[in-house]
A and B are shown apart, each in its own frame.
Chain A
Amino acid sequence: EVQLVESGGGLVQPGASLKLSCVASGFTFSDYWMSWVRQTPGKTMEWIGDIKYDGSYTNYAPSLKNRFTISRDNAKSTLYLQMSNVRSEDTATYYCTRGSMGITTGYWGQGVMVTVSS
């Protein structure tokens, strides 16, 4: 069974940095593209970016690429999202996703909440 468990969220002050993790199990992590998607409190879905199975290539939403970095450690079956200079509009639930059927968002984790507030 595909399992994706996110962690690292919480309350963070504007301008700070935060690193989210996603531990994968139930499949060979190094075989799959992975991505991050966030959902705002108003339920708007926003794709953040994805990373190739070997970590050699990434794609980002243009509005986020200067502040967010996606990386992975295949030896630890873990996906990361480094967020810097966070803003109130980054308040959202962040989901880790795995590829399936040609889409990098085929399977989703349970999500982790990030609240940006002073």
Chain B
Amino acid sequence: DIQMTQSPASLSASLGETVTIECRASEDIYNGLAWYQQKPGKSPQLLIYNANSLHTGVPSRFSGSGSGTQYSLKINSLQSEDVASYFCQQYYNYPLTFGSGTKLEIK
């Protein structure tokens, strides 16, 4: 199985700041990487697919980048509604595997 190592586990930032979450795969996943947002008490929502493509309806302040084994999610101009947990997931190979999540809070 491909292991996904996500960091940091938690993050606190001020409104308007830019934050970055990292995900490292145990082998090359050839951009088969997705990012999800899960707000408290809600189900996950797809933000980014193919490492850098924005899913339908996702605000442009979210962006994804990376290649090979290293990927990141960047959130520009942090808003209060961005308080959530964020997960990465590789879908390059079965079984699909997830990172352990990053909990984002507002300072």
Query: Using a CB–CB distance below 8 Å, which chain A residues touch chain B?
Result: 43-47, 59-62, 95, 100-111
Contacts and interface: CB of A to CB of B under 8 A. Distances in A.
A108 B42 CA distance: 10
19 contacts: A43-B85, A44-B98, A45-B87, A45-B98, A59-B94, A62-B95, A101-B49, A101-B50, A102-B49, A102-B91, A103-B34, A103-B49, A103-B89, A103-B91, A105-B34, A105-B46, A105-B91, A106-B46, A106-B55
Contact of B43 (A59, A103, A108): A108
* List of 8 A-B pairs having minimum Cβ-Cβ separation, nearest first: A45-B98, A47-B96, A108-B43, A61-B95, A101-B49, A103-B91, A59-B94, A108-B44
Nearest to B98: A45
Contacts of A60: 95
Nearest to B99: A45
A102 B45 contact: no
A37 to B, nearest CB: 8
B101 to A, nearest CB: 6
A101 to B, nearest CB: 5
The secondary structure that dominates the A interface is strand
Please tell me the size bucket of the interface on B: 20 to 34
A104 B95 CA distance: 12
B76 interface: no
B14 interface: no
The secondary structure that dominates the B interface is loop
B100 interface: yes
Nearest to A60: B95
Given A105-B46, A106-B55, A44 B100 contact: yes
B31 to A, nearest CB: 11
Contacts of A59: 94-95
Contacts of B44: 45, 95, 108
B97 interface: yes
Contacts of A95: 43-44
